Amino acid sequence: MSDAIVPHKADVTHQSDAGTRRARLQYGRWLGRAFESDLFYSFRRSRVTMIAAAVTALFFLVAIFAPFIAVQNPFDPAQLELMNSRIAPLWTADGQAPFLLGTDEQGRDVFSAILYGLRISLAVGVLGVLFSGTLGIALGLIAGYVGGAVDGLIMRIADVQLTFPAILIALLIDGVVKSLFGNRLDAASTLGVLVFAIGLSFWVQYARTVRGSVMIEKNKDYVAAAQLIGLPAPVIMLRHVLPNAMGPILVIATINLALAIITEATLSFLGAGMPDTMPSLGTLIRIGNNYLFSGEWWIVAFPGFVLAALILSINLLGDWLRDALNPKLR
């Protein structure tokens, strides 16, 4: 209160060059707040979490900068040489530079394919989480804020959907959309279909959590005050109620990122996801699985290891976030 009425001495004396200075001050304060927060403290206390965060960050970085790290573009058939097919990893007797992790049947460098595949897996995961999150948060806000029959309808749909495993729903949506387009989809639209199918399979958890928070928050004084000054309902929901429900949403989003990546990999593995011409990690594992018996273990082993490491580190991050944001455990 006093801050608002009596201006700080610092603010009065430095009013002349306020522009840049205030920006820097605020930036510094924001960063400082992040470093002094309980969240960052508990992050620094847990070595496992720091390793998991580092691994996740590394995967995101190599995925973003894949074209600069990879020795070839595995999506471009012109760059593949059939002469180079089925070369073993570099450290074995049959290894050949520059194929660090060996090559597959079509002469595709496994290392490059993993980098580009990681890109697709992460893209589908992140976009899927954004889509399901937006959908779930919107429906949860409406259900909780409006209540009544609308609430009943949305939550009944959520209940029914929750009885079915997400992977089954994603498979069905994927199958139906593909049949509507007659199986003539190019790789980029397949990615869109996957995001759509995954998004529609995972919105329920967000909707339920947001609705619960909204039901609690909407009876508080600050919401009544916002209603009194005549703010429209969407503004109250988005600017005032939603920020108070952000903690659990963040936890769900992190865990769902891992789930979305698993779902995409599973769909691609089952042959209902990304095509062989533009493979994700799941597609690479499906291709490599065919060569398990002929001794070319590296085609499946390395994509599988990367996928497992990625999911494990995201899960560990999610577990930590859930515990750190849970006030009961402090």
Minimum CB separation of residue 225 from other proteins in Å reads 30
Minimum CB separation of residue 63 from other proteins in Å reads 18
HSE (side-chain half, CA atoms, 13 Å) at 171: 13
Closer of 2 and 183 to other proteins (Cβ): 183
Minimum CB separation of residue 171 from other proteins in Å reads 6
Minimum CB separation of residue 137 from other proteins in Å reads 24
Closer of 130 and 312 to other proteins (Cβ): 312
Closer of 124 and 245 to other proteins (Cβ): 124
Closer of 126 and 172 to other proteins (Cβ): 172
Environment class of 278 (CB within 10 Å of its CB; exposed 0-12, middle 13-18, buried 19+):
middle
In angstroms, rounded to a whole number, what is the distance separating the alpha carbons of residues 268 and 161?
23
- Residues lying near other proteins in the complex (CB under 8 A): 160, 163-165, 167-168, 171-172, 174-176, 178-180, 182-183, 258, 262, 265-266, 269-272, 285, 289, 292-293, 297, 300, 304, 307-308, 311-312, 315
Length of the chain: 330
- Phi, psi torsion values for 103, nearest 5 degrees: -130, 165
Closer of 237 and 252 to other proteins (Cβ): 252
Minimum CB separation of residue 271 from other proteins in Å reads 5
Minimum CB separation of residue 84 from other proteins in Å reads 24
In angstroms, rounded to a whole number, what is the distance separating the alpha carbons of residues 261 and 265?
6
In angstroms, rounded to a whole number, what is the distance separating the alpha carbons of residues 69 and 111?
10
Closer of 182 and 232 to other proteins (Cβ): 182
